[in-house]
Structure 1
Amino acid sequence: MTTQRTRTTARAARSPFVFVLAALACAAALGWTYWAFVRTTTGQFADESAWQEAGVAAPDTQLPFLRFLDTLPAISVVLAAAAILFVVLRRQRYGAAVVAVAVVLTSNLTTQVLKNLVFDRPDRGVATLAFNSLPSGHTTLAASAAAAVFIIMTPRWRPFAAAAGGAYSVLAGVATFINLWHRPADVVAALLVVGTWTLIGGLIIMRTGDHWNRWEGFGSGWGSSRGWLVLCWILGPGGLLVSAVLYVSVQAAGPAAVPGTATVPLFFWWGLTWIVGVGFTLSGAAGWLFAAQARRAPATDCRR
């Protein structure tokens, strides 16, 4: 009886409604980002000002970021493919690999459909590009590759994967912004697209992976250190707070009459901290949610 009781563990993703609610919250945030920064005059002006100020505030960094962007698709595909092949060949988790591939494909397909078929960019009297560029395709590719690696990791590696994946996604998003490929809202929208599908795919993996989706809690190895998520929570909400203060300050002072002509590039710093804040907040939230919903392993279980 004691042995039987010891082997009894909670099922992974025992509260699937939390995943669904979080995915809906990401989708709602995506819709709000589009409405606030594409459909309104104030949002268009802020987004455009940040984009134009990026060319003035960080001109010397554009060439290194351009080189990074040129190699970004290859890097992202290699990272995701290597992780998925490891899971298939070494761990034989075929279902998890299929879901990870599906997260990458659906995220990128969603971005292209939204950008080219669903969303448009109305004329609000702001001097800007006439076509819609939200969400960012490059950011979606990078973030979805990081998400694929994150969701197929065993739970004891997910805290590290959340922080590393968040850093990679943020770096890709910042690169597209600083290199003047995309506005901040384009990058944030891409992160939210990937966040939505990551939560849906992660729920499927956790509900069908009880035999391996288990862990002994934070601190069972350096990859499962709680410090990785603490770092995400510092950079994420901290970045959002700074971006909110910058945005309110600029609006209160009254923006320049023409986008990008302000003497201090506060819109640029608003956009940069917004991207960092959203990227790491999503990473920290995903890392915490997946850890909280993982199947708890008894002391007699071996870690895999």
Structure 2
Amino acid sequence: MTFQLRDPRRKKQGRQQQGRQKPRRPAGRMRLAAGTGFLFAVATLACAMGLAATYYYFVRTTTGQFIDESALVEAVEIHGPAGKVTTRFLDWLPTISLVMAAVVVLLVTVIHRRWRAAGIAVAACVAANIATQVLKDLLPVRPYRGVETLELNSLPSGHTTLAASAAAAVFLMSSPRWRPLAGFVGGTFAIASGMSTLVNQWHRPADVVAAFLVVGCFMIPAGWLILRNDGHEWNVWDGFGGHWGSARLWIGLPVVLGLASAAVSVYSLVMIAPGISQEASTTNYFWAGISLIVIAGYLATVATTSLFAYAVRRRN
């Protein structure tokens, strides 16, 4: 029987090779879904095109100006009973938005050490609000199309941009299992902010929709950067239904509310359409404008939540 002595140098070399080996990826993490970058680029482009289309139709055309301005004028009929509540809400809106975003971003950053994600989310939020003010100054004033209206440009809405961007920052910093709930709550908050500006006659419906689109132009690319650079195990989930914060209810509810608003809009416009049963509009355009805000807000909510749900890493 022969014995073979181990060479201590081989043992040392083996340890060095093991030390140079790359750490294995945890079993619970996967790369982003295929085509994620393309989908995020398409979504961003859609927001930019939607913003341009909103400006052109509601500011540059006679029909768009008439619908938009009529909704603003008819808000007088609603302002009486609802004015005090919405005015107080709008007065507190900047504080609520900033505190909400600051608390969530700060907590998530400190607890999960997501410094880079926080920086991206905050930078996108600030950029969206700056872009809104720049657009107000750069976009041409409303041309006269036979509609009595103020010539100064009020598109996009600054209050709505602030509320929507704050809600979007919270959405981006939320873990995947909480994002559907955060999207619904944040979307509802932004929609309520936009409706309040219409009730108070601060902004037209198109101003609010444009604000949603401006926020999308900045926050969607920011979300892609966060997902792409966030390598934490924290950024995974089990899919819809794996947690009550990611229940399908938070996707289904805005769809139902959006469809209901579409029905209200169609009914309001049909009642004042030329025909035998045509009525004189008192609040029809106003309710159509409110419906437009709700539809746009919840459509953005569902689309964004679905986009992030597709892109996020899945547990095995």
**Same fold judged by TM-score > 0.5?**
yes
Aligned residue pair count: 290
The reply on whether 1:10 has 2:30 as its aligned counterpart is yes
Going from structure 1 to structure 2, the CA distance change for 1:163 and 1:44 (only over 3 Å counts) comes to: same
| 8 Å contact kept, 1:19–1:203 | yes
Indicate yes or no: 2:159 matched with 1:141: no
Residue 288 (structure 2) aligns with: 270
Q: Rate the CA distance shift 1:17–1:72 in 2: closer, same or farther, 3 A.
A: same
Is it true that 1:217 corresponds to 2:227 in the alignment? Answer: no
Q: 1:9 to 1:251 in 2, by over 3 A?
A: same
- Matched residue, 2:215: 194
Question: What is the one-letter code of the residue matched to 2:287?
Answer: W
Identity %: 48
Separation of aligned partners in 2, 1:179 and 1:46: 17
1:159 maps onto 2:177 in alignment? no
**Backbone CA RMSD of aligned residues:** 2.1
> CA deviation digits over 1:188-216, x for unaligned, max 9?
11011112222111111111113232111
CA contact 1:84–1:149 (8 Å) conserved in 2: yes
Measure the CA separation in 2 of the matches of 1:240 and 1:185: 16
Task: Kindly report which structure 2 residues correspond to 1:150-299, keeping only aligned pairs within 5 A, or say none.
Answer: 150-211=171-232, 212-240=234-262, 242-244=264-266, 246-247=268-269, 250-252=272-274, 262-298=280-316
TM-score (norm 2): 0.86
Cα distance in structure 1, aligned partners of 2:71 and 2:245: 36
Q: Unaligned stretches of 5+ in structure 2?
A: 1-23
Which residue in 2 is equivalent to 1:301? none
2:25 and 2:107 mapped to 1: Cα distance?
Answer: 33
In 2, the alpha carbon distance for the partners of 1:241 and 1:18 equals 30
Q: What is the DSSP-based 3-state SS (H/G/I as helix, E as strand, rest coil) of the residue aligned with 1:90?
A: helix
Q: 1:36 maps to which residue?
A: 57
Note if contact 2:28-2:314 (Cα within 8 Å) is conserved in structure 1. Answer: no
**TM-score calculated relative to the size of structure 1:** 0.89
Q: Post-superposition shift, 1:5?
A: 9.7
The amino acid of 2:261's aligned partner reads G
TM-superposition CA deviations, 1:34-69 (whole Å, max 9, x none): 100000111111111000101113421011100000
Find the aligned partners of 2:191 and 2:229 in 1 and give their Cα distance.
Answer: 30
* Aligned counterpart for 1:87 among listed residues 108, 125, 135: 108
Question: Is the CA contact (8 Å cut-off) linking 1:12 and 1:210 kept in structure 2?
Answer: no
Determine the C-alpha separation between the residues in 2 that align with 1:164 and 1:245.
Answer: 27
* Matches of 1:188 and 1:102, distance apart in 2: 22
Give the secondary structure class of the aligned counterpart of 1:21. Answer: helix
Give the 5 Å matches for 1:65-104. Answer: 65-104=86-125
